[in-house]
Amino acid sequence: TPDVKPLVAGNWKMNGLRNSLDELKAMSEGVHDALSEKVDTLICPPATLLYVATALATDSPLMIGAQDCHTKQSGAHTGDISAEMIADCFGTHVIVGHSERRTDHEETDELVSEKAAAAWSAGLVAIICIGETEAQRKAGETLDVLKRQLAGSVPDDATAENTVIAYEPVWAIGTGLTPTAADVAEAHAFMRNELTARFGKEGAGMRLLYGGSVKPGNARELMGVANVDGALIGGASLKAADFLAIYKAY
Ligand code: PEP
Residues 144-159, mean pLDDT to the nearest whole number:
98
Cα–ligand 1 centroid distance for 76 (angstroms): 31
Specify the pLDDT at position 40.
Answer: 98
Number of neighbours of residue 134 by Cβ within 10 angstroms: 13
11 CA: nearest ligand 1 atom: 3
Residues 78-105, mean pLDDT to the nearest whole number:
98
Q: For atom 5 of ligand 1, which residue has the closest CA?
A: 212
Residues 7-11, mean pLDDT to the nearest whole number:
98
Q: Is 213 annotated as a binding residue?
A: yes
Q: Is 123 annotated as a binding residue?
A: no
Residues 238-243, mean pLDDT to the nearest whole number:
98
Question: What is the pairing mode between strands 125-130 and 7-11?
Answer: unpaired
Q: Is 203 annotated as a binding residue?
A: no
pLDDT surpassing 90 at residue 79: yes
Q: Is 13 annotated as a binding residue?
A: yes
Residues 28-52, mean pLDDT to the nearest whole number:
98
Active-site entry in 98, 107, 188, 194: 98
Active-site entry in 23, 84, 168, 194: 168
- Three-state SS for the chain is CCCCCCEEEEECCCCCCHHHHHHHHHHHHHCCCHHHHCCEEEEECCHHHHHHHHHHCCCCCCEEEECCCCCCCCCCCCCCCCHHHHHHCCCCEEEECCHHHHHHCCCCHHHHHHHHHHHHHCCCEEEEEECCCHHHHHCCCHHHHHHHHHHHHCCCCCCCCCEEEEECCHHHCCCCCCCCHHHHHHHHHHHHHHHHHHHCHHHHCCEEEEECCCCHHHHHHHHCCCCCCEEEECHHHCCHHHHHHHHCCC
pLDDT surpassing 90 at residue 2: no
How would residue 195 be classed by pLDDT, with cut points 50, 70 and 90? very high
Averaged pLDDT score across all residues of the chain: 98
For the stretch 207-224, pLDDT in tens is 999 999 999 999 999 999
Contact indicator for 65, 44 with CB cutoff of 8 Å: yes
211 CA: nearest ligand 1 atom: 5
Residues whose beta carbon lies within 6 Å of some atom of ligand 1: 11, 168, 173-174, 211-214, 232-236
- Would residue 98 show up in a list of annotated catalytic residues for this protein? yes
Q: For atom 7 of ligand 1, which residue has the closest CA?
A: 234
Contact indicator for 188, 226 with CB cutoff of 8 Å: yes
For the stretch 198-208, pLDDT in tens is 999 999 999 99
How would residue 184 be classed by pLDDT, with cut points 50, 70 and 90? very high
Cα–ligand 1 centroid distance for 232 (angstroms): 7
Specify the pLDDT at position 200.
Answer: 98
pLDDT surpassing 90 at residue 232: yes
231 CA: nearest ligand 1 atom: 5
Residues 46-60, mean pLDDT to the nearest whole number:
98
Q: Is 11 annotated as a binding residue?
A: yes
- Would residue 84 show up in a list of annotated catalytic residues for this protein? no
Specify the pLDDT at position 222.
Answer: 97
| CA Rg value for the chain | 17
Q: For atom 6 of ligand 1, which residue has the closest CA?
A: 234
213 CA: nearest ligand 1 atom: 10
Domains of the chain from N-terminus onward: 14-39+47-62 (no CATH), 63-169+185-213 (3.20.20.70)
Predicted model pTM: 0.98
